[in-house]
């Protein structure tokens, strides 16, 4: 989005939020949040966290406490099970204030201003600022041209983009993978991760892989979260899964919010890309475009706000084609139905049949 339009659009969304006392406000389904876990998490934090006087000091320094480093090393080893002779140790871990801060720091470490990092389209919007705002590292979008972003063919698309960037005078220093992919909600299988490692080794560039424990598809291989090596810089974030185990969390297993969301979308003939991780789905509203342009996409987005619902737009994610939106489904069923009803109301006058 252009800065002026984005600023105005964002202000419209967040200055008028929906609530019981503001029923005509904008109901947000555009943020990657998992509201299903909020009651459990807030109760756990309230009952388990206490503030000591030590916490009000400089504590153990700016890089996290030794106990936190140790706990993270143990978690990573138990989760990704690296080679027995090459475990992750506390001293291998750097802790920063969130993944955005980690990427910002890595940008300064691996590249100079004007050099580039490859990221597949569609691209999580935050990555643009993480690389470009302070470090001046250029994000090089990688168009998929019809292949799945999690496929082996996509590795070849990255090589094409790297060579094209070189021809344009941009030296590529890294490749970023978000595992799960945001906004698509898909994971990479082991053979694909190995393909990216080989590509990075071939061109002597860094692989930055962001991982989050959010997979929920039973068909998903355990290799999708495997750890790898070879010049890899892997920031990790903690994101609760939108489909936690019913035995652990007491949530209904007969119909998850993901299944419910896709079934409703199918009922109204809205296409979507099946996801297996994360709290969102990438949906296609190209049939509702008055024109196949960003301007046409903005018409849909503005109509949604008029009808009191917000979905994240494809424009923000540098989508290859207009008309794609990200919808968050990790909300209580009543809220999901409420939000989709508002979405249907917004789309109804735009010409396509629901």
Longest dimension (CA), the chain: 62
pLDDT for residue 98: 86
Per-residue pLDDT for 252 more than 90? Answer: no
β-sheet bridge partners, residue 174:
117, 206
Instruction: Choose between 243 and 107: higher pLDDT.
Output: 107
CA dist 55 → 61, 63, 333 (Å): 11, 14, 39
Domains in the chain: boundaries: 3-40+246-350, 96-237
Per-residue pLDDT for 238 more than 70? Answer: no
Buried b / exposed e along 44-77 (16+ C-beta atoms within 10 A): eeeeeeeeeeeeeeeeeeeebeeeebeebbeebe
Alpha-carbon distance of 293 to 314, in angstroms, equals: 11
Instruction: Choose between 71 and 83: higher pLDDT.
Output: 71
pLDDT for residue 117: 98
Please name the residue that has the structure tokens 């070849």: 156
Instruction: pLDDT band for 42, please (50, 70, 90 cuts).
Output: very high
pLDDT for residue 127: 95
Helix (H, G, I), strand (E, B) or coil at 237: strand
pLDDT for residue 215: 63
Asked if 3-40+246-350 and 96-237 have one fold, the answer is no
Per-residue pLDDT for 222 more than 90? Answer: no
Question: pLDDT by residue (tens digit) across 99-123?
Answer: 899 999 999 999 999 999 999 999 9
Question: pLDDT by residue (tens digit) across 298-323?
Answer: 999 999 999 999 999 999 999 999 99
pLDDT for residue 55: 82
Structure letter (DSSP) for residue 282: E
Residue 185 gets the label, from left (phi > 0), alpha (psi -120 to 50) or beta, of left
Decide yes or no: CATH 3.40.50.2000 for domain 3-40+246-350: no
Instruction: pLDDT band for 15, please (50, 70, 90 cuts).
Output: very high
Question: pLDDT by residue (tens digit) across 122-161?
Answer: 999 899 999 999 999 999 999 999 999 999 999 999 999 9
Mean pLDDT in the chain?
86
- Its pTM stands at 0.85
Structure letter (DSSP) for residue 37: G
Level-2 CATH architecture, domain 96-237: 3-Layer(aba) Sandwich (3.40)
Give the closest residue to 122 by CA, choosing from 150, 101, 103.
150
pLDDT for residue 235: 52
Instruction: pLDDT band for 97, please (50, 70, 90 cuts).
Output: confident
């Amino acid at each position: 989005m252009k800065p002026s339009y984005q600023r105005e659009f964002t202000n419209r969304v967040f200055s008028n939020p929906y609530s019981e006392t503001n029923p005509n406000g904008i109901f947000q389904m555009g943020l990657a949040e998992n509201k299903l876990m909020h009651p459990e998490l807030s109760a756990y934090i309230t009952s388990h966290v206490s503030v000591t006087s030590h916490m009000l000091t400089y504590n153990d320094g700016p890089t996290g406490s030794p106990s936190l480093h140790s706990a993270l090393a143990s978690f990573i080893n138990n989760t990704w099970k690296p080679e027995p002779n090459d475990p992750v140790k506390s001293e291998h871990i750097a802790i920063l204030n969130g993944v955005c801060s980690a990427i910002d720091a890595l940008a300064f470490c691996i590249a100079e201003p004007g050099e580039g990092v490859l990221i597949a389209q569609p691209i999580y919007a935050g990555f643009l600022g993480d690389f470009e705002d302070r470090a001046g590292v250029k994000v090089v979008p990688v168009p998929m041209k019809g292949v799945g972003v999690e496929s082996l063919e996509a590795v070849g698309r990255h090589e094409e983009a790297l060579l094209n960037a070189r021809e344009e005078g941009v030296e590529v220093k890294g490749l970023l993978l978000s595992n799960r992919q945001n906004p698509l909600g898909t994971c990479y299988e082991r053979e694909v991760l190995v393909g990216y490692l080989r590509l990075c080794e071939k061109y002597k560039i860094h692989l930055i892989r962001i991982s989050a424990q959010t997979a929920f598809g039973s068909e998903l291989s355990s290799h999708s979260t495997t750890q790898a090596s070879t010049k890899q810089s892997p920031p990790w974030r903690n994101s609760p899964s939108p489909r936690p185990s019913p035995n652990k969390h007491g949530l209904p297993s007969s119909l998850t919010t993901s299944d419910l969301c896709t079934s409703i979308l199918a009922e109204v003939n809205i296409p979507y890309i099946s996801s297996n991780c994360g709290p969102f789905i990438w949906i296609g509203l190209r049939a509702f475009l008055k024109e196949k342009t960003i301007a046409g996409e903005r018409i849909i987005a503005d109509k949604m706000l008029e009808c009191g619902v917000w979905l994240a737009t494809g424009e923000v994610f540098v989508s290859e084609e207009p008309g794609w939106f990200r919808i968050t489904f990790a909300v209580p069923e009543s809220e999901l139905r409420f939000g989709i009803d508002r979405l249907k109301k917004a789309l109804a006058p735009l010409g396509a049949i629901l």
